[in-house]
Amino acid sequence: MNSSPQSDGLDRRQFLNKLGGGALAFSAFLAACKGKQAAQAPSHKPAGDVPTDRMTYRINPKTGDKVSLLGYGAMRLPRLSKEHSPSGKGNEIDQEETNRLIDYAIAHGVNYFDTSPRYCEGLSEAALGIALSRHPRDKFFVSTKLSNQTEPSQEASLAIYRRSMELLKVDTFDYYMIHAVGDFATYKKRYLDNGMLDFMLKEREAGRIRNLGWSFHGKKEFFDYMMFESGVKWDFVLIQLNYFDWDITQDKGRSNVDARYQYEVLEKLKVPALIMEPLLGGRLASPNHVAQALMKQTNPDASFASWAFRFAGSFPDVLTVLSGMSYMEHLQDNLRTYSPLVPLSDKEQQMLVGVAKTMLEFKNINCTNCQYCMPCPYGVNIPGLFMHYNKCLNEGNFPSQAQDQNYRQARQAFLLGMDRSVPKLRQANHCIGCGKCVPACPQGIAIPRELRKIDQFVEQLKRNR
Ligand code: SF4
Ligand code: SF4
């Protein structure tokens, strides 16, 4: 994919200009969909066979690793229900199902597996280690991170590093990362002052880290520092890239730098890009109903998620696209998308710009459900509340004006749905605004402010009987 604004058709303003008179048609389309609620087409066609030998691979220019374009992210491994849980509390990893998913992924050509000591409340590495250790070591690349956010001392960081090796049952990390840095002060505290960067560089020299990189959410200045001034030759960078974050960040009023800028720097410096959040925490798999109609109009058989995966995979310097897959159905859909990848046409890219535009109109909260802000000391289920709010907005069933025809129905659905998805004790009115969660959010969401807005909205709905 050529990423220049002239050729890729992904510049929003250019897209609207290109539409010309078509922009009016697009607005009319948007209005029509809003007015009569576009039919909710099924998310995708029923599953056919999943090919075992057609996966698209990319080559790591440094090591020659032949990496599957679909990477398995172990951040949302399947969980046991309460009745099957040995402790009776539920929420433990379902190891049997995890093994089944990993086996299936490997049998269908996936060879990149990513985890972190923080994923699944600290349970991911052990579960992935068990699943992968049942396969020959040369069948997979394993990647994890120095997630020392809460314990940055050298002693604690070294313990994290060694424990990852132990849990993953490996003696080398194929890909190892500085985890989620976005500003210099954090980087200094977690990796420079404690000597951990020096340690990791020595581990790379010794061959125990085959590729050293970092995962990034943050501002341009820090991205530039890491790429141009840090004095380290990075083997890769894990960036957030999807069609919503590509180049319209400014319009969203967010501080994180656009994916386009990051990708273009990496492309220029010939540093492989690894991709996270291709689905924006699942939001692109169930976008608003107007976006759904646009996608179905272009190809009624394609799943919503497949558009996002094709977008991310179409960039040639992308080594792998990570997806946190909890269900076989999702794994199969993603396998089909990349077996093999069919790069997006210009027309399809333009359609996705239109989809991104509808997302701006719907004013979702930019939560990716990463859970980094959790647990809240006051028990608030932050992502659960944001997810419910976004879901109601996207379904076009949002109680905004008391005089709207469907207000009563939408009001009831919002309030009942909220109680069903988030217990009362964990709702927005329990946020005391302490701000503890704010620095943890890689998307830069003003969490207490958004929660206050949701709380006020709920109160208003309750009053408007
Ligand atoms: S600001 Fe609210 S949601 Fe965030 S940690 Fe404090 S109480 Fe919890
Ligand atoms: S609010 Fe931020 S940190 Fe919390 S789940 Fe959403 S994106 Fe992640």
Structural domains of the chain sorted by starting position, each given as residue range(s) with its CATH number in brackets: 38-356 (3.20.20.100), 382-463 (no CATH)
Burial class (CB in 10 A: 0-12, 13-18, 19+), 207: exposed
Average pLDDT over residues 257-271: 95
Distance of alpha carbon 233 from its chain centroid, rounded? 26
Average pLDDT over residues 403-419: 88
pLDDT band for position 20 (cuts 50, 70, 90):
very low
Is the C-beta atom of 256 inside 6 A of ligand 2? no
- Res 254: pLDDT: 60
Judged against a pLDDT cut of 90, whether residue 285 lies above it is answered with yes
CA of 224 to the centre of ligand 1 (A): 32
Answer positive or negative: Cα dihedral of 392, 395, 399, 401: positive
Burial class (CB in 10 A: 0-12, 13-18, 19+), 377: exposed
pLDDT band for position 400 (cuts 50, 70, 90):
confident
Judged against a pLDDT cut of 90, whether residue 8 lies above it is answered with no
Work out the percent of the chain whose per-residue pLDDT is above 90: 74
Judged against a pLDDT cut of 50, whether residue 37 lies above it is answered with no
- Which DSSP string corresponds to 386-428? HHHHHHHHHTT-----TTSTTHHHHHHHHHHHHHHHS-GGGSG
- Which DSSP string corresponds to 126-172? HHHHHHHTTS-GGG-EEEEEE--SS--SHHHHHHHHHHHHHHHT-SS
Q: Are 134 and 164 in contact (CB under 8 A)?
A: no
- Res 253: pLDDT: 54
Closest-lying ligand to the alpha carbon of 376? 1
- Res 399: pLDDT: 86
Alpha-carbon separation of residue 132 from 31, 143, 154, 353 (angstroms): 50, 12, 29, 38
pLDDT band for position 36 (cuts 50, 70, 90):
very low
pLDDT band for position 44 (cuts 50, 70, 90):
very low
Judged against a pLDDT cut of 60, whether residue 31 lies above it is answered with no
User: What phi, psi does 273 have (nearest 5°)?
Assistant: -100, 130
From the list 23, 14, 46, the residue with the least C-alpha distance to 300 is 46
Q: How far apart are CA 229 and CA 92, in angstroms?
A: 43
Instruction: Give 336-391 pLDDT, tens digit per residue.
Output: 999 999 999 999 999 999 999 898 888 889 899 999 999 999 999 999 999 999 99
Residue bearing the bigger pLDDT, 138 or 27: 138
Distance of alpha carbon 248 from its chain centroid, rounded? 17
Task: Give the contacts of 392 (CB within 8 A, at least 6 positions apart).
Answer: 398, 410, 413, 414, 417
| 3-class SS of residue 301 | coil
Six token digits for residue 150: 């809460």
- Res 145: pLDDT: 98
Q: How far apart are CA 321 and CA 313, in angstroms?
A: 7
Six token digits for residue 95: 């190891």
Judged against a pLDDT cut of 50, whether residue 21 lies above it is answered with no
Judged against a pLDDT cut of 80, whether residue 251 lies above it is answered with no
- Res 380: pLDDT: 98
Residue bearing the bigger pLDDT, 249 or 34: 249
Alpha-carbon separation of residue 381 from 54, 56, 331 (angstroms): 41, 38, 27
- Helices 95-107 and 124-132: crossing angle in degrees, nearest 10, is 50
CA of 322 to the centre of ligand 2 (A): 18
Is the link from the previous residue into 316 a cis peptide, with omega within 30 of 0?
A: no
Judged against a pLDDT cut of 70, whether residue 276 lies above it is answered with yes
Which of 367, 373, 374, 376 for a ligand 1 pocket mutation test, highest count of atoms within 8 Å of Cβ? 376
Tell me which residue has its CA closest to atom 6 in ligand 1. Answer: 434
Judged against a pLDDT cut of 90, whether residue 417 lies above it is answered with yes
Six token digits for residue 336: 């089909």
Closest-lying ligand to the alpha carbon of 217? 2
- Res 331: pLDDT: 98
Average pLDDT over residues 412-433: 94
CA of 442 to the centre of ligand 2 (A): 7
CA of 380 to the centre of ligand 1 (A): 7
Task: Give the contacts of 136 (CB within 8 A, at least 6 positions apart).
Answer: none
Residue bearing the bigger pLDDT, 45 or 179: 179
Work out the percent of the chain whose per-residue pLDDT is above 70: 88
Average pLDDT over residues 278-293: 93
Instruction: Give 324-340 pLDDT, tens digit per residue.
Output: 999 999 999 999 999 99
Instruction: Give 100-158 pLDDT, tens digit per residue.
Output: 999 999 999 999 999 999 999 999 999 999 999 999 999 999 999 999 999 999 999 99
